[in-house]
Copies of this chain bind each other. A is one copy, B any other.
Amino acid sequence: MKEIRASVRRPEFERPLVTVDLVIFSVQDDALKVLLVLRPQDASDPFPGRWALPGGFVDVTKDRSLQDCAVRKLREKTGVVAPYLEQLGSWGDAVRDPRGWSATHAYFSLIHAPKDGTFKEAAGATESQWIAVGEASRKRLAFDHAQILAAAMGRLRSKVEYTSLPAFLLAEPFTLPQLQRTYEVVLGRSLDKSAFRKRMLDAGFLQEAGMSDGTLGRTAMGYRIRNREQAVSFPRMFRTGE
């Protein structure tokens, strides 16, 4: 402690590397997918040719905050500007990056499926791809990204049980049947229609937005999220015991 005070203005501690990584989820073709990037085949980079979460170093000249950095990287990768973005946690230790002691700040984002199936790349040559979460978990990801991805999936699975989070995986306006399908995809089990509708409508986070043009069968009411800043919590979990 005394050393700190002795060193006048700047602390003399060696500074760790500081990065931001993103876990970007989307539901496509009735499957939960995550965006991964392929690290370049360059031996001077760590983990060349391995799949990784999109991310990179905080640039103190460009990023005013960690959140800004995450927003910037999300925009660069996907073009999405107003997503659901939540901090997931940080992972920092001496060995996760061969370049030295590093701390990464993982953010958790939910976006709706892109229209054209995939995103255009920015100037960089990195290849990126939407990969089903089951498959992604089986890959040998770079750094400790497997652990971060597992934590993100745990958080999503847990929050889906009692919050409106999955609504952020849909393009607005969306219908209740679409929302229910999204819940079922993320939960991995089917839900009762009547209970589901009561629950969603009672939670009060939906706003009617005109009839949707159903392509088959009866048309459904379209909804928007009343407040995109945060998800709402339900008074109970989906399945009580078991």
Per-residue interface assignment for chain A, residues 126 to 139, with 1 indicating a CB less than 8 Å from any chain B CB and 0 otherwise: 10000000000000
Task: Please indicate the chain B residues that have their CB under 8 angstroms from the CB of A59 in the complex.
Answer: 13
Contact of A8 among B5, B99, B123, B233 (CB under 8 A): B99
Do A5 and B58 contact each other (CB < 8 Å), given the known contacts A15-B16, A18-B18? no
B residues in contact with A173, CB < 8 Å: none
What's the least CB distance linking A9 to chain B, in Å? Answer: 4
Determine the distance from Cα of A40 to Cα of B2 in the docked complex, in whole angstroms. Answer: 11
Task: Tell me which residues across on chain B come within 8 A of A13, comparing CB atoms.
Answer: 17, 57-60
Indicate if the CB atoms of A46 and B8 lie closer than 8 Å.
yes
Binary contact readout A24-67 vs B (1 if CB under 8 angstroms, 0 otherwise): 00000000000000001011111000000000111111001110
A134→B29 CA distance, assembly (Å): 50
Interface positions, chain A 61-78, Cβ under 8 Å from B, are: 61, 64-66, 68
What are some 20 contacts across the A-B interface (CB < 8 A)? A7-B43, A7-B44, A8-B46, A8-B98, A9-B45, A13-B60, A14-B61, A15-B17, A18-B18, A18-B92, A18-B103, A60-B101, A65-B92, A66-B90, A66-B92, A87-B90, A92-B105, A103-B103, A103-B105, A235-B241
